[in-house]
């Protein structure tokens, strides 16, 4: 998802065109990531807006949310995409009034059509980039990460290969994706996958999607957005999602479900409520807008709220951003209710959802305490609450609260030493706190 030119600093169409003109080509392709929906200024996303900057080259530009991509006319031709198609999940090849693809591919099944024609990265390059990335993460104080994806390659094999020569800089817990249409045999395969592990990595849990994103018009909302979209679940049959979670639950496998919209959050909570008491822990990822009547259910059902405060950087305090405009004033006012969920008794795990937002652990801590964008009017977390979100509550979300999340006898030797107290220091200072030492599994992974 982070291949090619970083477009996250681009703010308007002229800036995008300029970035594409000077972008590096890989096997003739222009690849980019981190593109903000707000760049288009409310215009429909269309490859015609960038063709003059590409010189006929095929281009593949990921939107920042990870749920959509803009591809050029040459890229559409290379992939044989000539019009709309039906998918087993909520995905779309966006077309104009004449049925011609605009280059905007929304959600996973549509985006996956590009995979066979995109330039491949050699194994050695993927390995080197992963080690470099994890080392950079350790430098911000991260000792462990929850990876909500196994990727399109043999990631467990890649991690095992790295550990043949040494240890990973960051402990990793990975969760494979379960998509609509999964059979009983495939679900049982997810159960067997839980046995795969290395020294500092393991597969733990399964990732589901109940919806997409607000900006993409695919968040599952109780009432349509301003464009009349958002009333469909990612699973065309939401009951099939519930049945899949139930089967994994009986096998002792916890789940993490992507649910951004209020209808999606409600359905996941209803599903967990139907499981009864006991069994593995389940969590909901993102929870960008949730009504009052759902806040207390997280604690009552033991569902962990997993949220990413840095995502608010893609919104604006005056609600003129794409996220806020689509939702309207009432729902935009419920943006990222981290403190409300904590006050309602929920366990709240915090993260970045990299590469959607930067992985820097200090930025997550700071933004949780001093919300930005559409959430700027909300109360932030206290210093202890923010730290718990990155430590004890994150460990509990993974079912590892008896071995991780605290510095105590018998716990993993995963710890970080900052040059200042991240709890007591002002949020802006905590965001730039010097990292003196990062330790994972008793080994020093970074020394500042």
Domains 5-117 and 124-405 share a fold: no
Rg (CA), the chain: 21
When the pLDDT of each residue in the chain is averaged and rounded to a whole number, the result is 95
Share of the chain above pLDDT 70, in %: 99
Reported as a single tens digit per residue, the pLDDT across 308-325 is 999 998 999 999 999 999
CA distances from 279 to 47, 248, 284 (A): 48, 10, 16
Q: Could you tell me which residues are beta bridge partners of residue 133?
A: none
DSSP assigned state of 55: T
Flag whether pLDDT at 448 surpasses 60: yes
Q: Strand 68-71 and strand 206-209: pairing?
A: unpaired
What does the domain layout of the chain look like in residue ranges?
Answer: 5-117, 124-405
Mean per-residue pLDDT, 220-231: 96
Helix axes 238-250, 184-193, angle to 10 degrees: 40
**What's the pTM?**
0.93
Q: What is the pLDDT of residue 332?
A: 95
Of 122-131, 336-345, 361-370, 376-385, the one with minimum mean pLDDT is 122-131
Q: What is the pLDDT of residue 128?
A: 93
Mean per-residue pLDDT, 36-45: 92
- Give all strands (DSSP E) within 4-80, no chain letters: 5-6, 25-26, 29-35, 59-63, 68-71
Q: What is the pLDDT of residue 167?
A: 87
Q: Which residue has the tokens 């977390």?
A: 381
The CATH number corresponding to 124-405 among 3.30.470.20, 2.102.10.10, 3.20.20.140, 3.50.50.60 equals: 3.20.20.140
Helices (H), 34-183: 51-54, 73-79, 108-111, 123-139, 155-165
Q: Which residue has the tokens 């996941």?
A: 268
Flag whether pLDDT at 2 surpasses 90: no
176 against 153, higher pLDDT: 176
CA dist., res. 228 & res. 207, Å (int): 28
Nearest to 53 by CA among 14, 27, 96: 14
Element (H, E) at 446: strand 443-447
Q: Hey, what are 444's tokens?
A: 């020093």
Flag whether pLDDT at 59 surpasses 60: yes
Q: What is the pLDDT of residue 120?
A: 87
Model confidence at 306, in pLDDT bands (50, 70, 90)? very high
Nearest to 100 by CA among 123, 84, 120, 117: 84
Which fold is adopted by the domain 5-117? Diaminopimelate Epimerase; Chain A, domain 1 (3.10.310)
Model confidence at 74, in pLDDT bands (50, 70, 90)? very high
365, 408 contact by CB (below 8 A): no
Helix (H, G, I), strand (E, B) or coil at 286: strand
CA dist., res. 159 & res. 29, Å (int): 28
């Amino acid at each position: 998802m982070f291949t090619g030119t970083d477009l996250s600093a681009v703010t308007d169409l002229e800036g995008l065109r300029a970035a594409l003109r000077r972008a590096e080509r890989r096997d003739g392709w222009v690849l980019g990531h981190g593109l903000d929906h707000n760049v288009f200024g409310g215009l429909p996303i269309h490859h015609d807006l960038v063709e003059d900057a590409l010189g006929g080259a095929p281009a593949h530009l990921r939107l920042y949310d990870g749920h959509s991509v803009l591809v050029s006319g040459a890229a559409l031709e290379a992939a044989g995409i000539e019009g709309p198609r039906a998918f087993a999940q909520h995905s779309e090849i966006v077309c104009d009034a004449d049925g011609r693809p605009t280059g905007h591919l929304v959600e996973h099944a549509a985006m996956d059509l590009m995979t066979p024609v995109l330039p491949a990265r050699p194994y050695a390059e993927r390995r080197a980039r992963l080690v470099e990335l994890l080392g950079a993460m350790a430098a911000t104080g991260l000792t462990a990460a929850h990876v909500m994806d196994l990727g399109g390659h043999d990631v467990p094999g890649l991690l095992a290969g790295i550990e043949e020569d040494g240890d990973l800089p960051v402990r990793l817990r990975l969760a494979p994706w379960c998509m609509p249409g999964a059979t009983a045999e495939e679900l049982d395969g997810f159960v067997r996958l839980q046995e795969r592990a290395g020294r500092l990595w393991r597969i733990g849990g399964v990732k589901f999607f109940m919806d997409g994103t607000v900006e993409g018009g695919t968040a599952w909302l109780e009432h349509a957005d301003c464009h009349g979209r958002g009333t469909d679940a990612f699973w065309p049959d939401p009951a099939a999602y519930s049945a899949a979670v139930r089967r994994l639950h009986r096998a002792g496998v916890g789940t993490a479900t992507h649910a951004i919209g209020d209808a999606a959050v409600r359905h996941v909570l209803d599903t967990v409520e139907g499981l009864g008491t006991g069994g593995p822990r389940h969590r909901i990822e993102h929870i960008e807008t949730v009504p009052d009547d759902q806040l207390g259910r997280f604690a009552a059902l033991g569902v962990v709220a997993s949220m990413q405060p840095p995502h608010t950087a893609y919104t604006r305090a005056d609600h003129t951003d794409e996220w806020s405009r689509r939702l309207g004033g009432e729902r935009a006012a419920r943006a990222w209710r981290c403190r409300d969920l904590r006050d309602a008794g929920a366990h709240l795990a915090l993260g970045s959802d990299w590469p959607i937002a930067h992985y820097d652990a200090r930025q997550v801590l700071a933004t949780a305490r001093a919300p930005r964008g559409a959430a700027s009017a909300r109360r932030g977390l206290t210093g202890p609450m923010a730290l718990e979100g990155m430590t004890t509550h994150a460990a509990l979300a993974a079912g590892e609260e008896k071995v991780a999340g605290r510095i105590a006898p018998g716990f993993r030797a995963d710890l970080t030493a900052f040059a200042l107290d991240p709890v007591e220091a002002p949020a802006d200072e905590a965001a730039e706190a010097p990292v003196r030492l990062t330790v994972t599994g008793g080994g020093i992974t970074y020394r500042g």
